Amino acid sequence: MRYFPINQIKAGMILGQELHDASGKMLLAQYTKLTAENVSYIAFLGVPGVYIDDQFSKEVEIREVVRPEVRRSAVQIVQDIFLKAAGGELTPQEKAIQENVEEIVNNVLENDDVMYNLIEVKTYDDYTYFHSANVAILAGVLGAKSKLPQKDLGSLVTAGFLHDIGKIFVNPDIINAPRQLTEEERIAMMDHPRRGYEFLSGNYNFPEEVLLAVYEHHEWHDGTGYPRRLKGNQISPLARILKVADVYDAMTSRRPYHEPYLPSEVVEYIMGRSGMEFDPESVRVMANELSVYPVGCEVELSDGRHGIVAENHRGFVLRPTLKLLDSGKMLDLLNDHSALNLTITKLMM
**CA 268 to CA 140: how far, in whole Å?**
21
List Cα–Cα distances, 272 to 139, 143, 237, 243, 278, in angstroms.
20, 21, 21, 15, 9
From 30-38, 124-132, 164-172, 232-240, give the range in contact with Fe ion by CB under 5 A: 164-172
| 103 near Fe ion, judged by CB under 5 A | no
- DSSP letter at 91 equals -
Least Cβ distance, residue 234 to Fe ion (angstroms): 19
Closest approach, Cβ 205 to Fe ion, in A, equals 22
Q: Which is nearer to Fe ion, 164 or 277 (CB)?
A: 164
Q: Which stretch binds Fe ion (CB under 5 A): 16-24, 158-166, 235-243, 311-319?
A: 158-166
Measured between alpha carbons, how far is 211 from 143 in angstroms, rounded to an integer? 17
* Residue 14 near residue 32 (C-beta atoms within 8 A): yes
Which residue's beta carbon is nearest to the bound Fe ion?
164
Which stretches of the chain are DSSP H helices?
36-45, 68-86, 94-110, 127-145, 150-162, 172-175, 183-189, 192-203, 208-215, 237-251, 263-272, 280-289
Determine the interface stretch with Fe ion among 69-77, 109-117, 163-171, 284-292 (rule: CB under 5 A). Answer: 163-171
Q: To the nearest whole angstrom, how small is the minimum distance from the Cβ of residue 217 to Fe ion?
A: 6
Tell me 132's DSSP state: H
Nearer residue to Fe ion within complex by CB, 229 or 346: 229
Closest to Fe ion by CB, 279 or 298: 279
Q: Does 164 interact with Fe ion (rule: CB under 5 A)?
A: yes
- CA of residue 102 relative to chain centroid, distance: 19
Number of H-type helices and E-type strands within the chain: 12, 10
Q: Which is nearer to Fe ion, 164 or 219 (CB)?
A: 164
Residue 47 or residue 162: which is nearer to Fe ion going by CB? 162
Residues contacting residue 78 through CB under 8 Å, at least 6 positions apart: 128, 129, 132, 133, 136, 161
Instruction: State the nearest-atom distance from the C-beta of 213 to Fe ion, in Å.
Output: 11
Q: Does 298 bind Fe ion (CB under 5 A)?
A: no
Q: Mapping DSSP to helix (H, G, I), strand (E, B) and coil, where does residue 89 land?
A: coil
249 binds Fe ion (CB under 5 A): no
Output the smallest distance, CB 240 to Fe ion, in A: 14
Choice between 164 and 311, CB closer to Fe ion: 164
- In sign, the C-alpha dihedral spanning 149, 150, 151, 157 is positive
Whether the ω angle into residue 227 lies within 30 degrees of 0, i.e. cis, is yes
Least distance from C-beta 218 to Fe ion, angstroms?
6
Q: Which stretch binds Fe ion (CB under 5 A): 65-73, 134-142, 157-165, 262-270?
A: 157-165
Kindly tell me which of 18 and 191 has the beta carbon lying closer to Fe ion. 191
Stretch of 160-168, 174-182, 289-297, 316-324 contacting Fe ion, by CB under 5 A = 160-168
For Cα atoms 78, 97, 213, give the angle at the middle one, nearest 5 degrees: 80
Amino acid at position 344, single letter: I
**Total binding residues toward Fe ion, as defined by CB under 5 A:** 1
Angle at which helices 94-110 and 127-145 cross, to 10°: 50
Of 29-37, 123-131, 156-164, 288-296, the segment contacting Fe ion by CB under 5 A is 156-164
Minimum distance from CB of 226 to Fe ion (Å)? 10
| Alpha carbons 349 and 313: distance in angstroms, whole number | 21
Q: Which is closer to Fe ion, CB of 190 or CB of 334?
A: 190
Identify which of residues 164 and 216 has a Cβ nearer to Fe ion in the complex: 164
Query: Residues interacting with Fe ion, by CB under 5 A?
Result: 164
